[in-house]
Amino acid sequence: MWLKLNARHSDTKKELKKAEAALDAAAYSKYLDLSAPEIKSLAVDDKWLVAVSRAIRDEVRRMSNVLGTRVNELVERYETPLPEAMARVSALEQTLVEHVKRMGFKLGSTGAASESREVRSGSASNWEAKSLGSLFEFSGGYSAARDQLSEDGHYYLHYGDIHAAHTPFVDLRKGAGQIPRLDVPLSEINARALLDDGDVVFVDASEDDEGASKHVVVVNPDHQPFISGLHTIVAKPKTNELSHDYRRYCFQRFAIRKQFRFFAAGTKVTGISKTNIKKVTLPVPRLEEQSAIAKILTDLDDELDALAVKLAKMGMLKQGIMQSLLTGKIRLV
């Protein structure tokens, strides 16, 4: 049966080749009979104008992206007045002081933490160590090149965006405008490559050992279609032993990153396989302790964000004052 089908396949390929050659010959012979208007229509209308139209559409799309990004920057820059930003920083500082006191430390005048007499020490030795293979199901993503991404289709998480991320999570509710899309039917996507709330996505390729543990936790409570992409490893939780918020921080521990570097392989490009990532072990505290840890670290992140906003606004204020002073618009004497 297979031999017959193979023979038919070979015969069909030969017939197709002959038919294409005949079509090419017929087209070449037709060129001699074309009039000037017909040549103009083929060369200008059907080819040149189509290429120009496509280039214009691409440029309009690019400029729209640039303008959209700029508008978002302006909105973020001016939506919070400086007094409000300073008040938020003060409130978060008080929260931080309370957290530090609970941990047995006190803040000095410079902001540095020092150990107090009431410090309650401990270790993670009584936390149960579990392999990631027992906590998560691992699978690969859907491969698509960067030039296939656009503004249309479904959200797509490219491994390059994980490497470039400044936060350990990606939140579709807040940063959806910055996430590229892939225009592909969901029927083509393996369900395990679709990211849900609480999934963790690791990169499987990095230019250095330190990047081998790069990851993000997915925040997607509305269950929007979100495709994990090229060179990613999707970790879907098997159990509820790790809280969502705690997942944002637990893989950043030095001992965990060290294990990732140990299991990573490669010379020019470092990568970790799904088989090896399952072997990484993670100390797991009780859920209430996870929540307490995540609360402190989240509040610290919030204060850092607020300080960044305050710093940016103070920088803009300085620029405005400097221009007024150096151009003589404001005279001091």
Tell me the pLDDT band of 67, cut-offs 50, 70 and 90: confident
**Res 258 pLDDT > 90:** yes
**Res 139 pLDDT > 80:** yes
**What is the structure's pLDDT at 101?**
72
Q: 191 and 301: one domain?
A: no
Residue 59 lies in a domain: no
Q: 104 and 200: one domain?
A: no
Q: 307 and 280: one domain?
A: no
Q: 157 and 241: one domain?
A: yes
**3-class SS string, the chain:** CHHHHHHHHHHHHHHHHHHHHHHHHHHHHHHCCCCHHHHHHHHHHHHHHHHHHHHHHHHHHHHHHHHHHHHHHHHHHHCCCHHHHHHHHHHHHHHHHHHHHHCCEEECCCCCEEECCCCCCCCHHHCEEEEHHHHEEEEECCCCCHHHCECCCEEEECHHHHHHCCCCEEECCCCHHHCCEECCCHHHCCHHHECCCCCEEEECCECCHHHHHCEEEEECCCCCCEEECCCEEEEEECCCCCCHHHHHHHCCCHHHHHHHHHHCECCCCEECCHHHHCCCEEEECCHHHHHHHHHHHHHHHHHHHHHHHHHHHHHHHHHHHHHHHHCCCCCCC
Residue 258 lies in a domain: yes
pTM of the model: 0.66
| Chain mean pLDDT for the chain | 84
Tell me the pLDDT band of 3, cut-offs 50, 70 and 90: confident
Q: 192 and 313: one domain?
A: no
Mean pLDDT of 91-105: 71
Q: What is the pLDDT of residues 159-186, one digit of tens each?
A: 999 998 888 899 998 877 789 999 999 9
Provide the number of structural domains found in the chain.
3
**What is the structure's pLDDT at 122?**
54
Q: 134 and 280: one domain?
A: yes
**What is the structure's pLDDT at 119?**
41
Q: 241 and 319: one domain?
A: no
Tell me the pLDDT band of 41, cut-offs 50, 70 and 90: confident
Domain span at residue 95 reads 80-115+286-333
Tell me the pLDDT band of 203, cut-offs 50, 70 and 90: very high
Q: 301 and 271: one domain?
A: no
Residue 41 lies in a domain: no
Tell me the pLDDT band of 103, cut-offs 50, 70 and 90: low
**Res 272 pLDDT > 70:** yes
**Res 42 pLDDT > 70:** yes
**What is the structure's pLDDT at 125?**
66
Tell me the pLDDT band of 221, cut-offs 50, 70 and 90: very high
**What is the structure's pLDDT at 118?**
43
Q: 223 and 88: one domain?
A: no
Q: 275 and 194: one domain?
A: yes
Residue 57 lies in a domain: no
**CATH number of 183's domain:** 3.90.220.20
Q: 219 and 325: one domain?
A: no
Which of the pair, 292 or 95, is modelled with greater confidence? 292
Q: 100 and 163: one domain?
A: no
Residue 222 lies in a domain: yes
**Res 120 pLDDT > 60:** no
